[in-house]
Structure 1
């Protein structure tokens, strides 16, 4: 990760936070609330969001040639998840982090692979 700039580090942190938040919301918060929150479609959406955020972070961290495409997919899933959580209510943390994550992923998807490969090092590689 030493070769990633501060924007990439911030995006990685947001992706990790979104993944953990959505996973926790699905398996704890929503199941405990029950009703519409526990609908299979909603739970699957939260788990999809958690998975795509984790995968996007992995691909970005090792500068995969596919990270921009995954980031574009992440935008759509995060936006859908945030909207769904907002409609259901009582999920403000999820709505907030999904929106931030979508913004970061939108930037990543626009930057292109060459930009990620050409980012200057913020630290010298350790020996």
Structure 2
């Protein structure tokens, strides 16, 4: 049997990031147009949705020991970085964007370490 001791923490990091992204999307959508005078949140929502999907898949692939895990970890890190960069633009005004950016940075760092 394959040793999968790392498989418990990395998928959790990915799933935590996906959850933060989903919460960010929901909060942004609930704000509707009320924030349009400050920031356009469309790109934030789009990147969070992509990031949540990629993180979920990355965590699942790693948990099952997929031969494609390392490739997805690199993609996941790239998507997380893009999402974090966008969410950070709104972090001063929205706690959910700040939390999402922080989760994305953690996930990106861990995915990069695991992919190497």
Q: TM-score range by the shorter chain?
A: 0.7 to 0.9
> Structure 1 length as normaliser, TM-score?
0.77
Deviations 1:58-85 (A, max 9, x none): 1101111110000000011001101100
Q: Which residue of 1 aligns with 2:4?
A: 4
Q: Which residue of 1 aligns with 2:31?
A: 33
Distance 1:50 1:24, change over 3 A: same
> What 5-or-longer segments of structure 1 have no aligned partner?
111-127
1:74–1:105 Cα contact (<8 Å) kept: yes
1:69–1:109 Cα contact (<8 Å) kept: yes
> Structure 2 length as normaliser, TM-score?
0.83
State how many pairs are aligned: 106
The CA distance in 2 between the partners of 1:3 and 1:15, in whole Å, is: 20
User: CA RMSD, aligned part only?
Assistant: 1.6
Query: Does residue 98 of structure 1 match 2:96?
Result: no
1:31–1:37 Cα contact (<8 Å) kept: no
Deviates most, 89-98 or 66-75:
89-98
2:77–2:108 Cα contact (<8 Å) kept: yes
Match of 2:75 among 73, 76, 87: 73
> What 5-or-longer segments of structure 2 have no aligned partner?
none
Q: Which residue of 2 aligns with 1:107?
A: 113
The CA distance in 1 between the partners of 2:78 and 2:60, in whole Å, is: 18
Q: Which residue of 2 aligns with 1:115?
A: none
Deviations 1:17-61 (A, max 9, x none): 1111101211x211123323542x321110000000000011101
Computing the radius of gyration from Cα coordinates, the structure with the larger value is: 1
The CA distance in 2 between the partners of 1:55 and 1:107, in whole Å, is: 18
